[in-house]
Amino acid sequence: MPTYTLRINGTAHDVQADADDTLLSVLRDDLDLVGARYGCGEGQCGSCTVLVDNRAMRSCVAKVSAVAKAQIVTIEGLATNGVLHPVQQAFLEVEAFQCGYCTSGMVMATVALLRTTPSPTDADIARVLDRNVCRCGTHTRIVRAVHLAAERLRAVTPSAGADGRLGEPALPQVAQEAQR
C-alpha cells in the first residue's frame, strides 16, 4: 500500500492508503480528524467539505492520490490559538445550526466562498451553498451568518489584495513546502 504525505492544517502526515481511498476516510479513520462528517459518500450533501488549496472540496469523493500535493484545511484547522475564524464566529452568534451535523461543511464552504466573493448576494450564497444540505431547515439563518461573516472579513481588510481577494486570517499551511 503506498504512502502519501498529506499537508493538513499546517502539519505533514504520512498515511498508508490506496490511491482511490477517499480523503474523508483518511481524515476520519487514520488521523481522527472527524470534524468533516460522513453524510452521503457521493459528494451530494457537503457535510465533508474541506479546503484543498483554498477551494471547497467534497472530501468523500476526493481521492487521496489527487490531493497529495495540496494544502488541506479542515474545520479543526480554522480557529487560531482558540480564536474562532470569523465565519465560525458568525455561525455561532447567529446560531446558524440546529443539530450541527452540516455545520463543519457549511463553514468550510463559506470560507471558500468569501475568498472569491467578499460581498456575496443572497443569490451568490444560494448558488454556492446549494451543494450543501442542511436537513434541519436552518437555511435562512445560514444566509444571515454568511452575510455577517462577510461584513466582519471586509472590516478586517477593507481593500482587496493583489489577487483580488480580500484578506482573512491566514489559514495554516506547511511552511517548509514550496507553494505550487
Partner 1 sequence: MTARHDETFEVERYELSSPPTWRFALERRTFLAIFATVGSGLLVAATQARGQESGRTGSQGSAPTDVKAWVHVSEDGRITGYTGKTEIGQNIRTSLAQAIADELHVPLDRVSLVMADTDLVPFDQGTFGSLSTPRMAPVLARAAATAREMLLDRAAAQLGAPRASLTCDAGQITGGGRNVGFGDLVKGRQLTGVVPADAPLMPRSAWKVRGTPAPKVDGRRFVTGEHRYTPDLTRPGMLHGRMLRPPGYTGTLTTVDDSGARGMDGVTVVRDGTFAGVVASSARLARRAASAIKAEWTVPDGLPTATTLYDHLKATASTAAGGRGSTPTQTGDPAKARTAAARTFAATYRIPYIAHVPLEPRAAVAEWEGDRLTVWTGTQRPFGVRSELATAFRIPEDRVRVIVPDTGSAYGGKHTGEQAVEAARLAKAVNRPVKVVYSRPEEFSFGYLRPAGVIEIAAAVDAEGRLTAWEFDNWNSGGAGLATPYDVPNVRTQFHAAESPLRQGSYRGLASTANHHAREMHMDAIARALGVDAVEYRLRHLTNDRMRAVLQAAARGAGWPKPSVDGRGLGIACGTDKGSYIATAAEVSRTDNVLKVERLVVAYECGAIVNPDGLRHQVEGAIIQGLGGALFEAITFANGAITNGNMAKYRVPRFKDVPSIELLLLDRPDLPSVGAGETPIVCVAPAIGSAARTFGAVADALPVRFA
* Four-residue CA torsion sign, 15, 62, 133, 107: positive
Question: Which 3 state secondary structure label does DSSP give 22?
Answer: strand
Minimum CB separation of residue 123 from partner 1 in Å reads: 9
Closest distance between partner 1 and the C-beta of residue 26, in Å?
9
Between residues 126 and 160, which has the closer beta carbon with respect to partner 1? 126
Positive or negative CA dihedral for 95, 96, 101, 106? negative
Footprint of partner 1 (CB under 8 A): 17-18, 21, 25, 28-30, 32, 34-42, 44-45, 47, 74-76, 78-79, 84, 88-89, 91-92, 95, 97-104, 107, 125-127, 129-143
Place of cell 502519501: 4
d(CA 100, CA 135): 10
Using the minimum distance from each CB to partner 1, give the nearer residue, 3 or 179.
3
Q: Which residue has the cell 486570517?
A: 169
Q: Which is nearer to partner 1, 40 or 167 (CB)?
A: 40
Q: Pick the closer one to partner 1 by CB: 42 or 163.
A: 42
